Structure 1
Amino acid sequence: MNKKRVIGTLLAAALAVTSLVGCGDSSSGGQTAVNTGAKQTDGKNLPELTTEPMEIILWDIATDEPAKSTQEGAVQRFMADYPNIKITQVHQQNDNYKQQLVVAMSSGQAPNIYVHWGGGPMAEYYNSGYANDITDMYAKYDHPEFIDAAVAQSTYDGKMLAIPFGGLSGCDIFYNKTIFKDLGLEVPQTIDELEDVCDTLKANGITPFSLANASKWTGSMYYMYLVARHSGNAEFDAAYTQENGGTFTSEAFIYAGEKIQDWVKKGYFPDGVNSLSADDNQDRALLYDGSAAMMLHGAWQVSGIKNDNEEWYNENIGVFRFPEDSEAKAKGVPQDVEIGTAIGMGMSFNCYNDDGTVNQDMLDACYVLATQYYNDDTYNNDQLSTGTQPSIKGMEENIDDPNMKIIADVFFNASNVQLWYDQYLPASVTEVHKNCMTELFGLEKTPKEIGEEHDAAMQKALAEQ
């Protein structure tokens, strides 16, 4: 593939926005290995790595603890075993990351290893010539026994394009157990009951939901769940293909948009919700000071909150699945579609020579780093210690955090796990979707107008494929 090829559609989308999905990564406390002469890869079926000097550039979003220490620890263990190979690790801010990655690709300066969330962007990275096909390597060499869903989310067009490393990330509602107990509130099972809870919280001067929507993907979680509870996967799948009358203005999308705007008007979200930043943990701050009682978010919040104050977390935080739409359920609509990802994040490799041929020595090193050090016992135990479940078979048996047990049970009992829209949709549609979340929560446009924006973007993306 020609590595100087400019990925125009991705660049145009990236330059139009500075925000990014936050299906964040969670782990803790990395350890630096000391080279004793024996490698932790000894005896395994892996490619023999070069003894010549080599530098590999790695981009990630591990700017905060505990992820930063864990991921740096994996790199240090690798370099202790292979001192001739230097891994230059660059930590990028979450919200700017995708834009910076696409700009780097468009200028031919893409890193050799980069992290992402799978979905449509991963496919575009590959189609644009910036992701190695590792299908044959994955079949030939040792690797962790990833769960089937993680392998599926790392695959496009029958090709393995990434190595999972971030863990399962279900999306559920975190809530302050102490506030609920003090106000005599029960965990809601239906959306009607959830609204009753919200009204009681409001009457007691507490904002129901802590939401920081400056990043836009955070607000999308509410939209996705309301669509899923009202129609299962049916209406989203139809809108995605734009076939057989499929449209983002169908009943479930209008229902979701109207429900969110009703909640905004009732004060269920913080004032200035579109200006609050999840990257700066402004949503968590509202939980910490008791200003808000609930937060719909990904499972990575377990490690984040525990890292901030584990004692407070243990005393105050519980979790429950997004409540059911009782009217839709009565019509036979499945209520067990959940939102999230089976990989958390994946690592793809951009290992090519100047003439466009594969740099196999570099690709071998990247494969070993990703499969054997980012997924070794130290890394996985660090993840488990903070409540993150690696996407590896059998790891669910080691969960001891009660909230993570609930999240895992919800995840594994789902009839389907819908990948975040802003990763599942084509990149150009993703940007429209996220901008629409600003318009939706800002009461700037109607749900129908927002659906029409989605349709126009989806039709354009399909026509360009």
Structure 2
Amino acid sequence: MKKRMKRLAALSMAVLMAASMAACGGSGGGSSDGGSSSGGSGSGDDKEIVYWNIGTESPDKDIVTAAVEKFNSETESGYTVTSVPTQNDSYKEKLVVAMSSGECPDMYSCWSGGPMYEYIDSGFGQPIDDLFNNSEIKDKLMESAIGQATYNDHIYAVPYQNVSMSGIFYNKEMFEKYGLEEPATLADLENICATLKENGITPFALANSSKWTGSMYFMNLAARYGGLEPFQNAVAGTGSFTDECFIQAGEKIQEWVNAGYFPDGVNSLSEDDGQAKQLMYQETAGMLLCGSWYTGTFSTDSEEFYQKIGWFPFPAIEGSDADPSIMIGTVGDQFIVFNCEGEKLEAAFECAEAHLSDEVIDLGVESGKIPPVNGIEEKLTDPITIEVVEAANNASEIQLWYDQYLPPAVSNAHLDGLQEVFGLTMTPQEAQESMQQAMEEYNAQKAE
């Protein structure tokens, strides 16, 4: 019990410190709750299942709503699910505050990796092995998605939303106008950036008050410079986050900042408020590096504009021995974890199954998503979505996003330091030393 509370206190402090820093930086990310405002499991109705998620906007909102409505209209369990969506930026903070006060919801979506493991270790996630193994979704889900839902040899979550890979979206008409082609190498990409800049266009649309958006650049650069082994060794304690590939990634980012390849005031722009995509819509920026969920964002906002969009994976770096097929992303994207038992758990799991029903999967595909189910390729018609799946299938390895894979304290050190790198207020060496110190402190605490 003492160890559980110590873990939860550390988790809470890390998340709250990050939220405080974001607030000081004017992130603009606020709560956008819908449905019930009760939030906790003690809602006063034993037959209500409170479900927290980040489906505040289409298409995510539409997918969650469809799954919940399907469950509520078809279940014979006697339970009703109430969806409580919250904006991405404030979600982790809200979830940890709820856990700290004993008001964790009955079921909640989250990301795989470090934070999810911390929630489980703190007692806010139940193993679902028996329910899962007796369900049709066992054979429906991709093995890699099940793997990311597994912790300490037990299944704790239901992945449902997306195969999300990072890559670069670009304006095809703009490329054609200036005689540009999809790059094969980093040098090619930098030539594109220089051409766009010379013509008064910001090369990359980036809103980095959220911090994780800037991490997209760092993760891809580090993987292209050094592969995944330096990251894996640093996490294991046999290497360091001051490895050359991480320093090179930070230096390249600062080189691009100085060259004007990012928007002015990049660290004050809000991803949740749509300030990055607006630069693309206004055609004042030519490219956007982010997760492949942007196919759904673009197509939902404007199908006409989406026809202008192309996509390519982050290019290789000349002279690097790293495998250029490596992708950064997740197979599942959102994972439903359960904080209830008995009949309520069975009903909550039934609602999670509804997220993987044929009609909800079809809705996801229509919205540009790639649900993590076997044979999804047969349902895809969108050219970019097909490219993303091919890149994922051809990848030798897929690195989970750093801020999901790493323990919260280390993730926060990474994101905070990297934002300083983008702001030119910290050197890459200083940022990586801070991240390494956080990793060492976490490992020491874990060993106690």
So what's the TM-score if we normalise by structure 1?
0.88
Give the corresponding residue for 1:277: 270
2:418 and 2:46 mapped to 1: Cα distance?
Answer: 48
Give the deviation of 1:53 after TM superposition. Answer: 6.2
Which residue, out of 215, 220, 227, partners 2:215?
Answer: 220
Cα distance in 2, alignment partners of residues 318 and 398 from structure 1: 20
**Map of 1:395 onto structure 2:** 376
Deviations 1:260-306 (A, max 9, x none): 00000000000000000111110000001111000001111001111
1:161 aligns with 2:143: no
Counterpart residue identity of residue 279, structure 1: D
**1:305 pairs with 2:298:** yes
Once the two structures are superposed, what CA deviation does each residue of 1:419-448 show, in whole Å capped at 9, x if it has no partner? 000000011111111111211100111111
Tell me how far 1:65 sits from its aligned partner.
1.5
Once the two structures are aligned, what percentage of the paired residues are identical?
42
Of 76, 82, 85 in structure 1, the residue corresponding to residue 79 of structure 2 is 85
By how many angstroms is 1:2 displaced? 10
Q: 1:187-206, aligned counterparts within 5 Å?
A: 187-206=182-201
What is the deviation of 1:140? 2.8
Q: Does 1:211 align with 2:206?
A: yes
| Paired position in structure 1 for 2:248 | 255
Q: Are 2:338 and 1:343 aligned? A: no
Residue number in structure 1 paired with 2:16:
15
C-alpha RMSD of the superposition: 1.7
Q: Which amino acid aligns with 1:247?
A: S
Q: Take 1:53 and 1:3, find their aligned partners in 2: how far apart are those partners?
A: 30
CA-CA distance at 1:68 after TM superposition? 1.3
1:25 corresponds to: none
2:110 to 113, 116, 132: 116
Q: 2:396 aligns with which of 403, 415, 422?
A: 415
Superimposed CA distance per residue, residues 57-84 of structure 1 (whole angstroms, 9 cap, x where no aligned partner): 1000111112212211211111112373
- C-alpha distance in 2 between matches for 1:77 and 1:166: 16
SS of 1:136's equivalent in the other structure is: helix
What is residue 428 of structure 2 aligned with on the other side? 447
Other structure's SS at 2:181 match: coil
Over 3 Å counting, the alpha-carbon distance change for 1:350 and 1:431 in structure 2 is: same
1:17 counterpart SS class: helix
Q: Distance in 2 between matches of 1:106 and 1:306?
A: 39
* Paired position in structure 1 for 2:26: none
Q: Which letter maps to 1:381?
A: D
Residue type at the aligned position of 1:439: E
How far does residue 3 in structure 1 lie from its aligned partner after superposition? 13
Q: Which residue of 2 is the match for residue 232 of structure 1?
A: 227
Residue pair 1:2, 1:129 contacting (<8 A) in 2 also:
no
Question: Secondary structure at the residue paired with 1:270?
Answer: coil
Alpha-carbon offset, residue 5 of structure 1: 4.5
Partner of 1:293: 286
Match of 1:321? 313
Classify the secondary structure of the residue corresponding to 1:196. Answer: helix
TM-score, length basis structure 2: 0.91
Q: What is the letter of the counterpart of residue 291 of structure 1?
A: T
Paired residues in the alignment total 420
Is 1:429 matched with 2:410?
A: yes
Amino acid paired to 1:384? V
The separation in 2 between residues aligned to 1:377 and 1:11, in whole angstroms, is 38
Structure 1 residues 343, 185: closer, same or farther in 2, change over 3 A? Answer: same
1:64 aligned residue: 57
Q: Secondary structure at the residue paired with 1:445?
A: coil
What is the letter of the counterpart of residue 229 of structure 2?
Answer: A
Secondary structure at the aligned position of 1:293 is classed as strand
Which of the pair is proportionally richer in helix? 2
8 Å contact 2:16–2:93 — kept in the other structure?
A: yes
Distance 1:211 1:275 in 2: 10
1:104: how far off? 0.2
1:2 to 1:134, Cα distance in 2 relative to 1, 3 A: farther
**d(CA) in 2 for partners of 1:192, 1:291:** 22
